[in-house]
Each structure stands twice: as C-alpha cells, then as structure tokens.
C-alpha cells in the first residue's frame, strides 16, 4: 500500500505502524508493505512485518523526486512492479506493458 498523503519522515516503527492502523485502516502486522513519502517527495520509507518483527527500509534522493500517483482516498494499492517503478523514479501511471508474442 502507498500512502499518498505526505508523511513526517521522523516517524519510525511505532509512528508509521500507528499511521497504518489509524489513517490507512490496515493491520500493520499483516505482512503487507506500506510505503510513505515526505512532502517534497525526496524521501521514502517502507514498513512491513515479518514473523520476527518490523522491518523499515528508507531511501533519500540526492536529486529529483519520487513520482507518487495521486489518490482521493489517501492511499493506493501497489503491485510489486508498481513498487519497483516507484523506487526507480518511474511514473507508475505512465508505464504500460506490451503484449507478448505467444507461439502457436
């Protein structure tokens, strides 16, 4: 899940898990990935839970911005491909996958 609202990047495990539970209305212990971006779209954090505890991943861009898709609900479901594109700075809404040839 991607939180499309700007997030305070000073938040860590407790703050982000509370945001997942209270704002996004999801269970932070579900094992799903929750992605947060700051107001300037230069920092990203990803929170997820494994059987041994919370994991927190962070990335800060030296230049440019993450291309965060808009959402009226404040959140957006992400596929693994969407997440990879977002991390690499590719706009999720503009990519398209071409049909592949299937042998007869």
CB 66 within 8 A of CB 33: no
pLDDT score recorded for residue 53: 93
Mean pLDDT, residues 76-93: 79
Span 27-41, pLDDT tens digits: 999 989 999 999 999
Distance CA 46, CA 28 (A): 11
Parallel, antiparallel, or unpaired: how do β-strands 75-76 and 53-60 relate? unpaired
76 or 46, which is more confident? 46
- Between 26-30, 53-57, 96-100, the lowest mean confidence (pLDDT) is in 96-100
- 87 in helix, strand or coil? helix
Span 64-75, pLDDT tens digits: 888 777 776 777
pTM: 0.79
């Amino acid at each position: 899940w991607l939180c499309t609202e700007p997030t305070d990047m000073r938040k860590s495990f407790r703050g982000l898990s509370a945001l997942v539970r209270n704002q996004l209305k999801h269970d932070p212990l579900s094992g799903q990935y929750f992605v947060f971006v700051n107001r300037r779209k230069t920092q990203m954090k990803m929170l997820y839970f494994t059987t041994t505890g919370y994991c927190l991943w962070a990335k800060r861009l030296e230049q440019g911005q993450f291309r965060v898709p808009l959402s009226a609900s404040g959140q957006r479901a992400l596929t693994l491909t969407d997440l990879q594109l977002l991390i690499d700075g590719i706009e999720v809404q503009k990519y398209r996958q071409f049909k592949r040839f299937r042998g007869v």
